[in-house]
Amino acid sequence: MTAHDAVLRSPRRRSVLPGFGISAAITSVMITALVIIPLAVLALRAASLGPAEFLAAAWTPRARAAYAVSLGASLTAAIISSLCGLLVAWVLVRIDFPGRRLLDALVDVPLALPTAVAGLVYSTLYVERGWLGRFLVPLGIHGAYSWLGIVLVLVFVSLPFAIRVVQPVLESLDHDTEEAARMLGASRVQTFLQVIFPAIFPAVLTGFALALARALGEYGSVVFISGNMPFKTEIAPVLIVSRLEEFAYAEATAIAVVLLAMSISLLIVVNWLQQRVARNAQ
C-alpha cells in the first residue's frame, strides 16, 4: 500500500460516497471499456502502417482539405453556438415572458432528434426550391450543399450544450454585484463587460469546448446537407466513411487518428484556457 492509498483509506478521510474501492473500480472499468480500449484499437490499427504509409494515407490533399473543412466549420459553429447560447440562456434566465418554459424545453430537442433527420430537413429547406432556399438562393446564400450548410447543422446540434452550460451560472449570478456596478456609475455595457461577463466567461468557454467537441464528431446531419464534395464540403468523418466503403481500413484509421489528435489538442487548449479564466474569476 502506498502512502497515497493510506491517506485515502484512513478513517479520518471518509468520503460521503461509500466504498472508495468499488467506486474507483467501476470508474476505471467504465473509462477503460468505453474510451481507452477503443482508442487503443484505433491507434494499433493505425500503427500497422509504417510512418511513410501513414503519412501517405492521412496527409493526402483530399484529407487535408477535409480536416480544414471539419475544423473550420466546427470552430465557426462552436463560436456561433457560444454567442447565441449565451443570448438564449440570458433570455431564458432573465426575461419572464409567456411561453418561456416551452422555449426552455425546446432547447433540448436537437439532443433527442436523430441528426440525420435534421440534416435532411435543413437540406430540404435550403435547396433552390425549398421554403427558405427560394428566397435565399437568389441572394447568393446557399444553405444546402455548401460550407454554410455544414455550419448551420453543426450549430443546430451543438447549441444545446452552449445554452445548458451557461444557464445555471447565469441563474446563480449575484444580482447585488450588478446593482453595485450601477451605483458606482457603470453603464449597462460597462456592467455587462466588466462585471457580468467575467463571472460567466468560464462557463461560456466550457460551453464552447462542449459545442466544439460535439461539432467535430458530428456525421449524420452533415452527410445530408453538405453534398460531400471533396476539397469543398467534405468533412473528415465523411471521408473516413468513404475510405471504409472502399475497404481501405488502414487509411480510414489513419485519418481518424489525425482527426482525433486535432480534436484532443483543441480541447486541451480550450480546457487550459477555461481553467486559467476560472481561477482568475475566483
Partner 1 sequence: MSIHIRGVSKSFGTFKALDNVSLDVPQGTLLALLGPSGSGKTTLLRIIAGLEWPDSGRIEEDGEDITDRHARQREVGFVFQHYALFRHMSVFENIAFGLRVRKAPKQEVEAKVNELLHLVRLDGLGARKPAQLSGGQRQRVALARALAIRPKILLLDEPFGALDAKVRVELRQWLRRLHDEIGMTSVFVTHDQEEAFELADEVVVMNHGRIEQRGTPEEVFEHPATPFVMDFLGNVNVFHGRVEKGQAFWHGIPIDYPDYPHSQARPARVYLRPHELDIARAAAEQPGGNAATAAAVTGSLPASVLRIARSGAISRVSCRPDGSDTELHVDLPTDTARDLSLQPGERVTITPRKVRVFLPDPEYVI
Q: Does 194 bind partner 1 (CB under 8 A)?
A: yes
Q: Does 179 bind partner 1 (CB under 8 A)?
A: yes
The one among 2, 10, 15, 282 contacting partner 1 by CB under 8 A: 282
Residues 6+ apart with CB under 8 A from 178: 191, 195, 196
The one among 5, 108, 171, 174 contacting partner 1 by CB under 8 A: 174
What's the DSSP call for residue 248?
-
Q: Does 172 bind partner 1 (CB under 8 A)?
A: no
Q: Does 275 bind partner 1 (CB under 8 A)?
A: no
Please say whether the beta carbons of 80 and 157 come within 8 A.
Answer: no
Q: How many residues are given for the chain?
A: 282
Please say whether the beta carbons of 166 and 200 come within 8 A.
Answer: yes
The one among 117, 184, 264, 269 contacting partner 1 by CB under 8 A: 184
Question: Of 4 and 175, which CB lies nearer to partner 1 in the complex structure?
Answer: 175
Question: Of 101 and 279, which CB lies nearer to partner 1 in the complex structure?
Answer: 279
Q: Decide: helix, strand or coil at residue 115.
A: helix
Amino acid residing at 182: R
Q: How far is the CB of 257 from partner 1 (least distance, A)?
A: 39
Q: Is the Cα dihedral 139, 144, 145, 149 positive or negative?
A: positive
Q: Does 176 bind partner 1 (CB under 8 A)?
A: yes
Q: Decide: helix, strand or coil at residue 136.
A: helix
Q: How far is the CB of 279 from partner 1 (least distance, A)?
A: 10
As a whole number of angstroms, the distance between CA 109 and CA 107 comes to 6
Q: Does 199 bind partner 1 (CB under 8 A)?
A: yes
CA angle, residues 217, 221, 223, in degrees to nearest 5: 90
Q: Does 195 bind partner 1 (CB under 8 A)?
A: yes
Q: Does 186 bind partner 1 (CB under 8 A)?
A: yes
Q: Does 93 bind partner 1 (CB under 8 A)?
A: no
**Which residues here bind partner 1, judged by CB under 8 A?**
174, 176-177, 179-187, 190, 194-195, 198-199, 280-282
